[in-house]
A and B are shown apart, each in its own frame.
Chain A
Amino acid sequence: MTATQQTSTLPTHRYTLVVDLDRCNGCGSCATACAVENNIPPAPERSNVRTGVVWLRVHDVATVDPSGRSTFVPIPCQQCDEPPCVDVCPQRAVEYDPRTGIVGQIPVRCLGCRYCMVACPYHTRSFNWWSPEWPEGMKASLNPDVSIRQRGVVEKCNFCVQRLQAARAKTSAAGKTDIDPADYVPACVEACPSRALSFGDANDADGEVAKLAKDPESFRLLAALGTSPKVLYRSSDPVVRERLSRTGVTRG
């Protein structure tokens, strides 16, 4: 079920991530913070770029710019408003939440058919080829707010939805209805030392993200596909903007 098919009486947010490519230096802090927050296990011995479970992968696309300058492109699930991965799932393991715009993944429902991986044009989904394993004693440092996924299921970025749930709980405990934007910040955004990542509700017209989304330097990957991602990119380099919005980035 996609955004256009769903209706809701609850207030609708459109949580959106804007990635500033002029700032990203490819440090990997976002990917690391994501793995820590979401209990992604260390890479098994035989895994590689194609088989690993990575929710947010940073790519170096030096070839995009004719000057040869590197552009580092962090790519999480693009949180499409018209997500092809939702329609193909026979298990309802992928759900679009019309209240937030977040495309959720429910690994416990997943039967591992990987239709969604085929349908996703951004290669942002990962399949668990191996059972998750941590070195002895390291399990104690896992995030108790996120459950562990098993072998045989697909997973992906969900904008750290557990942080949204925690923010909602805090808001209602305080007797309020509106979440303080500072209470809901995904782990990657919090971790980025270059402040390349901005996050917020694009429906909040006064918010930074809504303004950035309208900036002429902002664009979407593979814009022509009509998937309407809620992950936007910005670059002051028109060549980078043109190439990435046309071709996106392939894994590897």
Chain B
Amino acid sequence: MKLEVSRRDLLLAGTGAAAGIALSPVPWKALDDLSIWTQRPPTPTPRPAGPLAFRFTSCTLCPAACGLKARSFGPQPVGFSGVPGHPASDGGLCPLGLTAHHLAKHPLRAVAPERVSGGKRETIDRAAASAALSAAIAAAAKDPKRSLLVVDGRPGRSLSRTFRALAAATNGRYAVPGSPSPALDTLAARFDGPLSLGVDLSKARRVVSFGTPVLTDAGTPGLLPRLRAEGRRKPKGERLEVVHVGATRTKSAGFADRFVPIAPGTEAALALGLAHVLLDEKLADAAFLAARTTGLAGLEALAARFAPPLVEQKTGVPAGDVVALARDLAASRPAVVLGGDPAEPLSAEADAAIAALNLLLGAPSGPLVARRAAPSEPDGDAKLAAVTALDAVPERSVSLLLLDGTVPEGLVPWARLEKLLADGAVVASFSAFRAGLGEKATLLVPGPAPLEEAVELDGPADAPLATFALAPALLAPPKELVLPEELLREAASAAGFELPAPPAGRAAAIVAAKRGQLFDPSTATTTPVSSLADAAALETAFAAGACWVDDPAPAPAGRFALLSDGEAPRLLESALGAPGPEPARVAALPRTALSAAPSSPLLTKLTRETALFPAPSAAKA
């Protein structure tokens, strides 16, 4: 047989072979192997000069004062992590702290002094800035009707003393933003002696929050969610639970074990309703009330007016829920009631009602602990202005408003300050940024950005133990930067006021007090302060990022007044009055309201590209 191969056969065989090969892994494997040769060269990231090192300091952006561990190349930090075991934060950091090293290069950073007039911003030199400040100081001191007002966001520093000395010398005023925990202050003020209170959440089984974002934005980052989760295996009655009471379902409210929505501004009515049930059903801590309080009859008379049906009418919380919540609180002692978001404080009456509720629950013998402030230098003979409440400053009475760079606009809104300004007033700011209150300045003398200067840093005022650090700088400030303290002294001197020299420093005061422990972040170990040779040894440790923590304070003997004098009628009127306005603010990013600095541009990852953190303009009212 003759085998003939036609052109058609060849074509068929070729097509068959091609199809066969195509269906086999061979060409795809070949393509696969070849494709990696098509890759582009990577874009390398610039490596900062200097060796890799880990350095320690503390975050100064909000009152939590978290420990920071910086991964650095030479002087340039490239990332942060928390410091496990740190007395202030125990390893926690929030997004603001994690990006603190970006702020020195923030697009809104200012380095040279600027003057704003007629809406026009012009850069001026140091001499002109000093002369302008000096003229404003002299004018404020001379004018009997108008005065200087300093607002200091972080009192207790050496610069704060200079501010106070200037205010005293010029008959001016010195103010600080409101207390971070007014409800605790109200309670401490009821004690028949000096007392400062902190919250030890680890001692609580029930935390009731009237609007405080305890699970997200308040206190040490992550602490309460951690404590709550650690106890979740315990039987229901024994584990820590969080109840959030408020007019808005904030993130913290949504994450609480129970959210109790109430009509805005009716916190006092609900707190008194709970007090009513506790007293009526004899569920209050009788032993504590008998041994540590006075004025029970007065509180009983007031609380008797707040029967659950009336409370339901006022607050919108069903009467049965009011009773159930009060019973739950009594059964879950130790319990503590916290109130108010620092950026949205409650009324003084609500703070008073919350203080009474804490006393009924015996909280000062549990989660509310006596604490001491960190030692500081005595005022001596220096003439220093006392702290004035901003509300006590008459409207249109300020001719020079001096804003330190540490004042967060979230706590001291510009609208509140603007009302205090006289016509033609000078607004001088030491903010490092053309943002927040710094943007409102008519004379901006930018100070160091976060991490550019060593900061005397007191830890949170409501922590169970006081902490203090001389948080070292990690970045060098720009050469042309004028230090606020220097400029202030120079300007005051030119205006005829010689300010007292700065005192020896907090390290000397701490060593002299022989109190507390020193935490070394590089080894996570503590040493008693009493074993340190002198203040220089403490300063050396601070320069390496160490943190001082107080020893527990003995509980002072004394009694709390359940109500202060003449308070009952005010409470009654306020709690029975009309509900307040809807809360206006829902912070987009945690803690931004507590920070005076703008947030890093990188946090747009959260605000713009994550539905969880709406950009401020998109935040729901």
Contacts and interface: CB of A to CB of B under 8 A. Distances in A.
Given A135-B105, A187-B79, A28 B45 contact: no
B255 A69 contact: yes
A111 B31 CA distance: 14
Contact of A141 (B81, B89, B105): B105
B93 A72 contact: no
29 contacts: A22-B232, A26-B216, A27-B216, A27-B221, A29-B95, A31-B610, A32-B603, A35-B605, A36-B79, A37-B79, A42-B600, A49-B611, A52-B609, A53-B609, A57-B609, A91-B36, A91-B39, A108-B39, A142-B78, A144-B45, A144-B78, A148-B43, A190-B82, A191-B81, A193-B82, A194-B226, A195-B91, A195-B226, A196-B225
A60 interface: yes
B254 A70 contact: yes
B102 interface: yes
Nearest to A35: B605
B610 A58 contact: yes
B99 to A, nearest CB: 6
A188 B619 CA distance: 26
Interface string B90-117: 0111110011011011110000000000
Given A32-B95, A106-B39, A43 B229 contact: no
B105 A137 contact: yes
A-B pairs, 9 with minimum CB distance: A52-B609, A193-B222, A193-B92, A70-B254, A137-B105, A43-B604, A194-B222, A193-B221, A144-B47
A246 interface: no
Interface string B591-621: 0000000001111111111111100000000
B608 A26 contact: no
B39 A54 contact: no
Interface in A47-104: 47-49, 51-54, 57-60, 62, 68-70, 72, 90-93
Given A92-B32, A134-B601, A194-B226, 14 more contacts: A29-B221, A36-B80, A39-B45, A43-B609, A60-B251, A72-B255, A136-B105, A139-B46, A144-B73, A191-B98, A193-B223, A193-B226, A194-B229, A196-B229
Given A32-B606, A191-B98, A26 B612 contact: yes
B77 interface: yes
Interface in B352-394: none
A168 interface: no
A114 interface: no
Nearest to B224: A25
B40 interface: yes
A147 B77 contact: no
Contacts of A60: 251, 254, 611-612
A140 interface: yes
A37 B605 CA distance: 14
Nearest to B73: A144
A32 B99 contact: yes
Contacts of B601: 42, 134-135, 138
A52 B608 contact: yes
B35 interface: yes
B569 interface: no
Given A25-B216, A31-B610, A52-B609, A193 B93 contact: yes
Interface of B: 31-32, 35-36, 38-48, 73, 76-82, 89, 91-95, 98-99, 101-102, 104-107, 215-216, 220-223, 225-226, 228-229, 232, 251-252, 254-257, 259, 589-590, 600-613
B35 A33 contact: no
Contacts of B602: 32, 35-36, 40-42
Contact of A149 (B43, B73, B89, B93): B43
Given A193-B92, A236-B232, A48 B608 contact: yes
Interface string A123-158: 000000000001111111111111111100000000
Contacts of A190: 81-82
Given A90-B31, A92-B32, A135-B107, A141 B101 contact: yes
A136 B259 CA distance: 45
A24 interface: yes
Contacts of B92: 193-194
Contacts of B98: 29, 32-33, 36, 191
A25 B603 contact: no
A20 interface: yes
Nearest to B605: A35
Interface of A: 20, 22-29, 31-33, 35-37, 39-43, 47-49, 51-54, 57-60, 62, 68-70, 72, 90-93, 106, 108-109, 111, 134-150, 187, 190-196, 236, 252
A1 to B, nearest CB: 10
Given A25-B215, A31-B610, A35-B605, A144 B46 contact: yes
A149 B79 CA distance: 19
Contacts of B48: 140, 144
A31 B606 contact: yes
Contacts of B107: 135-136
A249 to B, nearest CB: 11
A187 B41 CA distance: 26
A23 B91 contact: no
Contact of B610 (A28, A145, A236): A28
A109 B232 contact: no
Counting chain A CB atoms within 10 Å of each CB, the highest count among B77, B98, B252 belongs to B98
Nearest to B76: A140
A42 B605 contact: yes
A141 B255 contact: no
Contacts of A193: 82, 89, 91-94, 220-223, 226
Contacts of B229: 20, 22-23, 194, 196
Nearest to A65: B254
B222 A91 contact: no
Nearest to B609: A52
Contacts of A93: 39
A11 to B, nearest CB: 26
A147 B46 contact: no
Contacts of A68: 254, 259
Contact of A28 (B38, B232, B256, B613): B613
A54 B609 contact: yes
A147 B78 contact: no
Contacts of B222: 23, 25, 27, 29, 192-195
